[in-house]
Amino acid sequence: MNVLVVEDDERIASFLAKGLRSEGYGATVARTGDEAVAAAAAMHDGLDLVLLDLGLPGKDGLEVLDVLRRRHRTTPIIIVTARDTVHDKVTGLDRGATDYVTKPFSFDELLARIRAALRTSEQAGSAELAVADLRLDILTKVAWRAGRRIDLAPREWALLEFFMRNPDQILSRTQILDHVWEYGFDPGSNIVDVYVGYLRRKLNSPGLVPLLQTVRGAGYRLMPPGAR
């Protein structure tokens, strides 16, 4: 379980990271909003939970929340902040935070809230992934688009799941090869392009908006039609 700690206070950041590591979590620290967005993007679906301070230099915590929520729909994000008014809490939760903890906090309570958030996200995440009119049933490994069942071969499934877990993000051929095939797979191979082609044929039918975009020179992106 990898936790992204977004905190500009050196002392609190190091206390959180050490505490999390001693409980068996992976911890990555970001000290500004921009660092947080970059770190989350680099972690892709390896990101399991975010602890988010609101008072940050540069991009404010709420703006970071908006960006992370768009890109990581189901990742639990717990706000950890000194802002303790009801208005602050309502705003944070309404903008997509999973939970809200005010400083000073008890580390044991924070750990319990982390466990609770992860339990909920695992239950939700284990059942279904959805982007636009496309749904993946993780348990039965069946995909549905606009109500039509789509049968996928195992690699096609892995590729589509990778896209679905990283919607709106450009995934390079190398990232896809490393994730869906294996590290060190011949980078000159066109297997990614071939499989994206298979997926496109299976996902598209007349009247439906194509979801898989080619980003010239960069890779591929799963784009919900509303995000264009």
**Residues making contact with Ca ion (CB under 5 A):** 8, 53, 55
One-letter identity of residue 47: L
Minimum distance, C-beta of residue 8 to Ca ion, in the bound complex (Å): 5
Q: Is the Cβ of residue 64 or residue 222 nearer to Ca ion in the bound state?
A: 64
The Cα angle at residue 149 between residues 145 and 153, in degrees rounded to 5: 100
Shortest CB 60 distance to Ca ion, Å: 10
* C-beta of 57 vs 197, nearer to Ca ion: 57
Instruction: Please name which of 66, 137, 64, 61 lies closest in space to residue 95, comparing C-alpha atoms.
Output: 66
Residue nearest to Ca ion according to CB distances in the complex: 55
Helix (H, G, I), strand (E, B) or coil at 191: helix
Minimum gap (Å) between residue 195 Cβ and Ca ion: 44
Shortest distance in whole angstroms from residue 51 CB to Ca ion: 12
DSSP-based three-state secondary structure for 161: helix
Q: For residues 8 and 35, which CB has a smaller minimum distance to Ca ion in the complex?
A: 8
Nearer to Ca ion, 78 or 203 (CB): 78
CB of 172 to Ca ion, least distance (A): 33
6 vs 159, which CB is nearer to Ca ion?
A: 6
Overall size of the chain counted in residues: 228
Instruction: Return the structure tokens found at 218.
Output: 């960069």
User: Rounded to the nearest 5°, which phi and psi values hold at 141?
Assistant: 55, 45
Q: Measured between alpha carbons, how far is 109 from 18 in angstroms, rounded to an integer?
A: 16
Which CB atom, from 61 or from 76, has the smaller least distance to Ca ion?
Answer: 61
Output the smallest distance, CB 100 to Ca ion, in A.
15
| Residue 7 to residue 81: CA distance in whole angstroms | 9
**Residues 142/143/149/154 CA torsion (nearest 10 deg):** -60
Query: CA angle, 60 as apex, 19 and 90 as ends, to 5°?
Result: 80
